[in-house]
Structure formats: C-alpha cells, structure tokens
Amino acid sequence: MPMKSALPRSVRSTAMSLLIVAAAACKSTTDTPVPARLTIVQGALQQAAVGSALPTPIVLRVTGTDGAPVPQIPVSLTVTAGGGTVDPASAISDANGEVKAKWTLGPLTVAQALSASVPGLEPISVPAVGILPSDIIIAQGNNQSAKASAALPVQLILRVTGGNNVPMPNQTVAFTIASGGGSISPASAVTNALGEVTVRWTLGPVVGAQTATATAGTVGPVTINATAN
C-alpha cells in the first residue's frame, strides 16, 4: 500500500514551484552568451594617405566560448598611434556580434594603430600604414607664355603624391614667385581628393623668363617656368 507524503499538499505545491523557478533561473544564466573573444573581421593593415580615411571600414566581431556571435556587447575604439580619429568611438555589437567604424588616419606618421576593447577581455590592436607625401608633379601649365603683367592662359595644376604615386589629399601647397615679379592666386591651397591644387599665375612686368616654386611641407620645391612677351 503506497505511503502518503507527510507534507501537506500546499507545502508540496510551493516546493515544486520553487524548484521550477530555480531551474528556470539556472537555465537562463547558462543560456546567456558571455563574450570570450574579440576579432578583426576586416580592415587591418590598410594603407592610405596620411590625413585621409581608410578605404574600407574596420569591422570587429564579438564571439562566445562556442564561437557563436554575441550581440549587445559594448566595443570601445581608441586611436593609439599616429593621431587621427575613429567614428564611432564606441558601439554595441549587432545580431552578428559585429561593430563597424570609419578610421581617418593622422597627418604625420607612417605607423598608425587603434585599440579595440570589450569589458572583461584583453584589448586588440588594429594596425594601418600612413603614406607620406614624397613628390610634387606639375600636371598642367608649365612652360607657358603670355604678355608681361598678364595672366597665363592655362591655370596651373600641381599634384602631390606619395609612395606608389598615391594621390595625397589635404596637403597644403605654397607658391612663391622666384623671378620676374607677378603673383599666384591663391598663394597657397589645400589638395583635393586627387591630391591636386589649381591656381592662376599672373606674370610680372619683366620680359623674358619668369619662375615660380611650389612646396608641400617638406616636399619640394618644384620650379614652374613661364615666358613673358
């Protein structure tokens, strides 16, 4: 004959409810993803002109111990070498465990880096290479002629480049009249996305050869020639 429980039914029911709640709590805790690793998906070791944005966004991924992506995790990004900016400086991982950021390099340094971190994990470093200006090229307008004290018929276009002929945007090019008088307008200009500036040269009153020079920081000078008739 089966033995009856010594506990009243109400007590047994309460105890069973507590066990169910405790089991559910344990399961919820166990099922909550915990970030275990932060990795670089894309964007490391890119090259770009100093002072310009990298061509490809930086993408980072947060994963758990099972390798599955972990969403809703804050990721912080800080530039640690070279200057420049990263946007956004912090973000929350999406459904794929990923965050994406745009990195604009600093203006002066070859070796550049940013640090990415997640609470509880060791930060990781994302490196990049800044290309420095190395040459000024006269793309248009050299060796023209015009009447003395008149503007040359074609505007001057100068291009600043770096290694492998990479155009250098955001570089200040300064012009100086070396002989013959006259003026260049503007006297300095900042290169566009093609690494170019466009200026107008008005010759001086001296008939014959006239010269001007252009520099970009420590690069140059390059000499531009013209003839006044």
Per-domain residue ranges for the chain? 37-131, 133-228
Average pLDDT, the chain: 91
- Arithmetic mean of pLDDT, 210-224: 97
For residue 8, pLDDT beyond 70: no
- For residue 27, pLDDT beyond 50: no
Specify the pLDDT at position 11: 57
CATH class of 37-131: mainly beta
The confidence score (pLDDT) of residue 198 equals 98
Given this chain, do its domains 37-131 and 133-228 carry the same CATH topology? yes
Give the Cβ contact number of residue 177 at 10 Å.
18
Q: Is the pLDDT of residue 108 over 90?
A: no
DSSP-assigned letters across all residues of 115-168: EEE-TTS--EEEEEEEEPEEEEEEEE-TTEEE-TTSB-SS-EEEEEEEGGG-B-
Token match 């490196």: residue? Answer: 127
State the first-to-last Cα distance of the chain, in angstroms, to the nearest integer.
129
CATH 3.40.50.2300 fits 133-228, yes or no: no
**Those residues with Cβ within 8 angstroms of residue 177's Cβ, 6 or more apart along the chain or in another chain:** 183, 184, 204, 210, 211, 212
pTM of the predicted model as reported, rounded to 2 decimal places: 0.75
Q: What is the pLDDT of residue 28?
A: 43
Residue 154 gets the label, from left (phi > 0), alpha (psi -120 to 50) or beta, of beta
Using the CB atoms, write b or e for 206-217: b if 16+ within 10 Å.
eeeebebbbbbe
Cβ-contact 60, 116 below 8 angstroms = yes
CB-based contact 158:203 (threshold 8 Å): no
- Min mean pLDDT across 4-18, 23-37, 72-86, 157-171 is at 4-18
What is d(CA 210, CA 226) in angstroms, rounded to the nearest whole number? Answer: 5
Q: How confident is the model at residue 222 (pLDDT cuts 50, 70, 90)?
A: very high
Least confident residue range of 2-11, 179-188, 211-220: 2-11
Distance CA 191, CA 89 (A): 28
Measured CA distances, 184 to 7, 152, 165, 168, 176 (Å): 102, 10, 26, 22, 8
Parallel, antiparallel or unpaired: strands 133-140 and 182-185: unpaired
Question: How confident is the model at residue 88, as a pLDDT?
Answer: 98
SS3 category, 19: helix
Q: Identify the residue with better confidence: 26 or 60.
A: 60
The pLDDT-based confidence of 186 (bands split at 50, 70, 90) is very high
Residue 215 has pLDDT above 50, yes or no: yes
Q: Where is average pLDDT lowest: 13-17, 63-67, 133-137, 169-173?
A: 13-17
Model confidence at 32: pLDDT above 50: yes
Nearest of 32, 65, 52, 72 to residue 191 by alpha carbon: 52
- What is the model's pLDDT at position 187? 98
